[in-house]
Structure 1
Amino acid sequence: MNKPLIIALDFQEQTKCLNFLKSLMQQGYKPFVKVGLEMFINYGQDFIKALRDWDLPVFLDLKLNDIPNTVERTCEVIAKWNITYLTVHANGGSQMIAAAKRGLQTADNRTKLLAVTQLTSLDDNDLRNDFKIEMTSQENVFNLAQLAFKSGADGVICSAAENLEIKAKTSTNFLCINPGIRPAWSDRNEQKRVVTPTQAKVFQSDGIVVGRPITQAQNEIEAYRKIQGEWN
């Protein structure tokens, strides 16, 4: 698979979202899309099915975090949807990550399991003040990435600046998918650990996730084209 530019579908209305994707496809693109918790709660499995009926690759970002048995059964259901990526929280622990992987492992399913290390909206101060974690953000990310690797995950969600060290501590084949990507010409919003698409490429990202710089742009297709150009 080529290293994708993944569009986070930050739309309030399903019709507007589908029209945007249709416009991209009419321009000859086959967008790789991320469906987060808000979109999934609003529009459900039927929305995922509509995207797959268009043969679009789907990253379902649910960040599952529950007891291992519940997560495994949930992943057994999701395995039938033929999506590309699914997320769990790495801090759910080794048993939960392994259970999620088991749930996805059906004979014909190719869904890859990605573990969320640390949310890009968190920094060292948040770890120390909110969670009483004395590690730095990078130390926390590396610890969780190694845990995910040992527990059978296919990769992690992390800041692009952490890719090279994570691959050194795990495997060069361990996927590092990067949110918190902001072109130099866009707002950072609430993201604290951000890099540009060009920097992500230097950091050997296996895929970048971009939402509002595309979906809230005055010209969404032009913004997508511009970021795709920077990334490729």
Structure 2
Amino acid sequence: MKEQIYFALDFSGQKEAEQFIDANDLQGIPVKVGMELFYREGPTFIETLKKNGHRIFLDLKLHDIPTTVNKAMKNIAGLDVDMITIHASGGSAMIQQAKEGLMAGASSGRPPKLIAVTMLTSADAAVMNNELKITGNVEDHAVHLASLAHRNGADGVVSSVDEVPAIKKACGSSLLAVTPGIRLKGVSADDQKRPSTPSRARENGADILVLGRTVRDAPDPAVAYNHVIEEWNNGNA
């Protein structure tokens, strides 16, 4: 179902994003709004997207002291988006305060899902071990952060497809697994160190896909988007 597949609006501004949507007949699809676009256009663009029928994943990856995150989440909750991200590495108090802020600020009685980022899919073991000085392997660290997030109120986590089975085993099937870095076969991985295909994501237990360049940079973005949906639904590689 396309409701489980969010297209990343990785554009510099509202005009460019809307032109892309209209030119490729992608009106009303679920979309992810990240820092680049939100910091330029702000909440008014979120309202415009909602009026145009888009479900919204607001990917801001908040990571700050617990009180600041709590206050930010109270404001964000009023936007009535589907999901909002924090970094699980912010720790238990920050995760708890993020959840409390969303609950307090939700005007509709349905707060956004709190999604905690584990390890960015642009990072690999070399980055984790040598630059961040975190020992062990990526999967174990992702499971650790997912478990931390789950215990402290997160509704789901972001990880690569590779880590989803271990995360589900540790945390249970109710924890949403959101997987970016999705690529159709033959599409460049770019800066993603741990990409995967839609069919493999489904096989590994992912609940929600995030698409970016595999659609945006395709010769025919609408065809690419529909290919992802078909592969997700039917397992056709």
Q: Normalising to structure 1: TM-score of the pair?
A: 0.94
CA 166–3 in structure 1, closer or farther in 2 if over 3 Å, else same: farther
Question: Partners of 1:20 and 1:229 in 2: how far apart?
Answer: 21
2:97 match:
99
Question: Partners of 2:3 and 2:165 in 1: how far apart?
Answer: 16
Match of 2:36 among 24, 35, 38: 38
Cα shift at 1:81: 0.6
Q: Percent identity?
A: 38
Q: CA RMSD in A?
A: 1.6
Within-5 A mapping of 1:58-77: 58-77=56-75
Amino acid of the structure 1 residue aligned with 2:59: D
| Aligned: 1:170 with 2:168 | no
1:155 match:
156
* Bigger mean CA deviation after superposition, 139-148 or 1-10: 1-10
Question: Residues 155-189 of structure 1, C-alpha deviation per residue, up to 9 Å, x if partnerless?
Answer: 10001121121111112110000001111121100
User: In 1, are the aligned partners of 2:119 and 2:138 still within 8 Å (CA)?
Assistant: yes
Within-5 A mapping of 1:108-123: 108-123=109-124
Question: Partners of 1:227 and 1:55 in 2: how far apart?
Answer: 21
Question: Partners of 1:38 and 1:16 in 2: how far apart?
Answer: 12
Amino acid of the structure 1 residue aligned with 2:188: D
1:86 match:
84
Amino acid of the structure 1 residue aligned with 2:54: L
Structure 2 unmatched ranges of 5 or more: none
1:22 match:
22
| Aligned: 1:128 with 2:121 | no
Cα shift at 1:199: 0.5
CA 50–3 in structure 1, closer or farther in 2 if over 3 Å, else same: closer
Question: Partners of 1:34 and 1:147 in 2: how far apart?
Answer: 24
Amino acid of the structure 2 residue aligned with 1:52: K
Structure 1 unmatched ranges of 5 or more: none
User: In 1, are the aligned partners of 2:139 and 2:166 still within 8 Å (CA)?
Assistant: no
| Aligned: 1:49 with 2:50 | no
1:4 match:
4
* Bigger mean CA deviation after superposition, 60-69 or 99-108: 99-108
The number of equivalent residue pairs is 230
User: In 2, are the aligned partners of 1:9 and 1:211 still within 8 Å (CA)?
Assistant: yes
User: In 2, are the aligned partners of 1:182 and 1:197 still within 8 Å (CA)?
Assistant: yes
User: In 2, are the aligned partners of 1:159 and 1:179 still within 8 Å (CA)?
Assistant: yes
Structure 1 runs (4+) greater than 6 angstroms displaced: none
Q: Normalising to structure 2: TM-score of the pair?
A: 0.92
2:207 match:
206
Question: Partners of 2:114 and 2:68 in 1: how far apart?
Answer: 16
| Aligned: 1:137 with 2:135 | no
Amino acid of the structure 2 residue aligned with 1:75: M
Question: Partners of 1:13 and 1:149 in 2: how far apart?
Answer: 34
Query: Any idea what SS the aligned residue of 2:60 has?
Result: strand
Cα shift at 1:41: 1.1
2:222 match:
221
Amino acid of the structure 2 residue aligned with 1:6: Y
User: In 2, are the aligned partners of 1:80 and 1:109 still within 8 Å (CA)?
Assistant: no
CA 102–2 in structure 1, closer or farther in 2 if over 3 Å, else same: farther
User: In 1, are the aligned partners of 2:3 and 2:30 still within 8 Å (CA)?
Assistant: no
Query: Any idea what SS the aligned residue of 1:81 has?
Result: coil
